[in-house]
Chain A
Amino acid sequence: MLLKQGAEAKIYKSEYLGCPCIVKERFVKKYRHPELDSHLTKERIKAECRAIVRCKAAGIRTPTLYGVDLAKRCIYMEYIENAKTLKECISNAVNNTEHADGNKDFIGPILERIGVFIGRMHSSNIIHGDLTTSNILLVGDLRSEDLQIIFIDFGLSSADESAEDKGVDLYVLERAIISAHTLKENVFNVILKAYAKEYKKGSSEVLRKLDEVRSRGRKRLMVG
């Protein structure tokens, strides 16, 4: 059963040894040169599997990996019930103006916990590569401490120690939050603060890089 067609992959729901599972098929992109396409697809499937395993070791929740079929371009993994993306949760909260004040309260703690997880990811040298609000799932009561935060879609991930790639990772998330959601910019600082606290020694260099990456944006008005 086709659940969703993303930009890169088709997501099906199926069964794996009696458990509900997700089949993520990185279908052939016809616009790409066939050699480039098969090369990229293999790299991304491998990257996704490696990152999932490494996240598990670091104590970050991701869908559990069940199996891989490179020939069929498929990954089989855990189906997560009742999940909402962070994007949906923020949009709901922002659009629901009736309880504007009450609604904003719960986003802060969620973002704080997301910051902790990203800090943990980076301290284990896992670069997500596509940290957007659509790639973070939430399961459970948004106001509860038991809310699960699950990271998905590691197709662009890599293992890297450099502050550069980590800085770009944060930059991508910042842009996703600011561009798609009309939230005040300080919400991103909540993430950064928690990030720095979790990823103690390495974080100052990454945050310096983040500033550098931000100022790289082309045609930005320069001060001084």
Chain B
Amino acid sequence: MVIAIGLEGSANKVGVGIIRDGEVLANCRQTYISPPGEGFLPRETAQHHREKIIGLVREALTVSGISPDKIDVVCYTKGPGMGAPLIMVALVARIIAQIWNKPIIGVNHCIGHIEMGRLITKCNDPTVLYVSGGNTQIIAYSQNRYRIFGETIDIAIGNCLDRFARVLKLSNDPSPGYNIEKMAEKGKKFLHLPYTVKGMDVSFSGILSNIEKQAPHLISSKQYTPEDLCYSLQETIFAMLVEITERAMSHCGSQEVLIVGGVGCNVRLQEMMNIMCEERGAKLYATDERFCIDNGAMIAQAGIEMFQSGTTTPWDLVTCTQRYRTDEVEVTWRS
């Protein structure tokens, strides 16, 4: 039996989770919410995390009823993410691991998402669509690596949605993407936007520039409502994601899709992906906001897998990095 505590804080969420052999005992989280029209900046985000993290560690221990001496390993996000928040959380992980005298493991954030998705949905060997504010990747496992088959060649899909939310001055509470999703449900009129698929890669920056430029005029002239624009943007960029996912599936001969990452809890994206899957006789696996959005439990889960396959991070390598690709990690826990 392995009990792991995981600390996550690579973006504007800070979370602490405790997992015992695949059972989530605690998964506490706080989100730094910036004012409408603004994104979150590294310094303020790190300050937010610093204020919350000790409370979250306490809360996780209380909720789970696990005392520190029962914990086998401390896991933290090594990267990728924003520098200052990553360092903040890594520091706390180092300290508690030393106080409690436990081994420590640095986890790749993307791998955390994948392993959490696999744990919750029980899917076996899926094609993974990882979509969040900082990442957009199509991933499949092959020969001890999570290989990236397609990805964005510029900004992430969540970043594209968040930045359009800023144009419309939508609230960042609970998240800009959620508010776009709610607006899009009321949209009716479809606006043609650029559609950029290059092989299995996608690009969003041109689409964003296009809609950012048109939006003020289209709205003030009453040709389109903000709801219509949210709707058109979602329909277009989600169709691109489903298309490249389907292409990756046919390339790898896969019959399972797992959606992870913050954008993965968008119900319309899940719905579109499900239609595609049904047409191919494939199966869609998705989770809800508790596990899609960044959280501590996912770091604990990936950490448990690494720990059980004999990996721990030596103290001189307990660092973090803003750039840490999914395919850099050797997957020692799968055959």
Q: State whether B324 touches A156 (Cβ < 8 A).
A: no
On whether the beta carbons of A6 and B197 are closer than 8 Å, the reply is: no
In the complex, how many angstroms separate the beta carbon of B201 from the nearest chain A beta carbon? Answer: 7
B236 touches A179 (CB 8 A): no
- B residues contacting A by CB (< 8 A) are 79-80, 135, 143, 147-149, 151-154, 156, 190, 192, 195, 197-201, 235-236, 239, 242-243, 246-247, 249-252, 271-273, 275-276, 279-280, 321-325, 328
- Shortest distance between the CB of B186 and any CB in chain A (Å): 15
Find the A residue at minimum CB distance from B245.
Answer: A7
How far is it, in angstroms, between the C-alpha of A218 and the C-alpha of B150 when the chains are bound?
Answer: 11
Whether, in the assembled complex, A83 has its beta carbon less than 8 Å from a beta carbon of chain B, the answer is no
The CA-CA distance from A12 to B146 in the complex, in Å, is 35
Nearest-neighbor residue (CB-CB) of A30 within chain B = B275
- Residues from chain A with Cβ under 8 Å of B324 in the complex: 219, 221
Q: How far is the CA of A157 from the CA of B147 in the complex (A)?
A: 26
A-B CB contact pairs (8 Å), 5 listed: A31-B272, A36-B195, A131-B199, A134-B251, A175-B200
A-B pair count, CB < 8 Å, reads 101
Give the dominant DSSP class at B's interface. mixed
Residues of the B chain whose Cβ atoms lie less than 8 Å from the Cβ of A213: 153
The A1-47 residues at the B interface (CB cut-off 8 A) are 5-8, 29-33, 35-36, 39-40
Choose from B135, B198, B235 the contact partner of A218 (Cβ within 8 Å): B135
Is B249 in contact with A7, judged by CB distance below 8 angstroms?
A: yes
Complex: chain B residue closest to A221, CB-CB: B323
Chain B nearest CB: distance from A167 CB in Å?
A: 11
* A6, B190: Cβ atoms closer than 8 Å: no
State the A residues within 8 Å of B (CB): 5-8, 29-33, 35-36, 39-40, 129-132, 134, 156, 168, 171-172, 175-176, 179-180, 182, 213, 216-222
A6 touches B250 (CB 8 A): yes
Query: Of all chain B residues, which has the CB nearest A217?
Result: B151
Give chain A residues whose Cβ lies under 8 Å from the Cβ of B325: 217-221
Determine if A220 and B153 form an interchain contact, defined as CB atoms under 8 angstroms apart.
no
Please give the distance in Å from B197's CB to the nearest CB on chain A: 7
Would you give the shortest CB distance from B81 to chain A, in whole angstroms? 9
Is B323 a contact partner of A220 (Cβ separation < 8 A)? yes
Among candidates B152, B200, B239, B322, residue contacting A31 with C-beta atoms closer than 8 Å: B239
Whether B199 contacts A156 by the Cβ 8 Å rule is yes
Question: A132 and B251: CB pair below 8 A?
Answer: yes
- Contact, CB under 8 Å: A36 / B190: yes
The 7 closest A-B pairs by CB, nearest first: A172-B199, A31-B272, A31-B275, A7-B246, A33-B235, A219-B80, A7-B247
| Nearest neighbor of A87 in chain B, beta-carbon distance | B251
Q: A29-B276, A35-B192 are in contact. Are A179 and B199 (CB under 8 A)?
A: no
Contact A172 B275 (CB under 8 A): no
Known A33-B239, A35-B190, A129-B198; further 8 A-B contacts with Cβ < 8 A: A30-B279, A32-B272, A134-B251, A172-B201, A179-B147, A213-B153, A219-B135, A219-B325
Inter-chain contact B190/A222, CB cutoff 8 Å: no
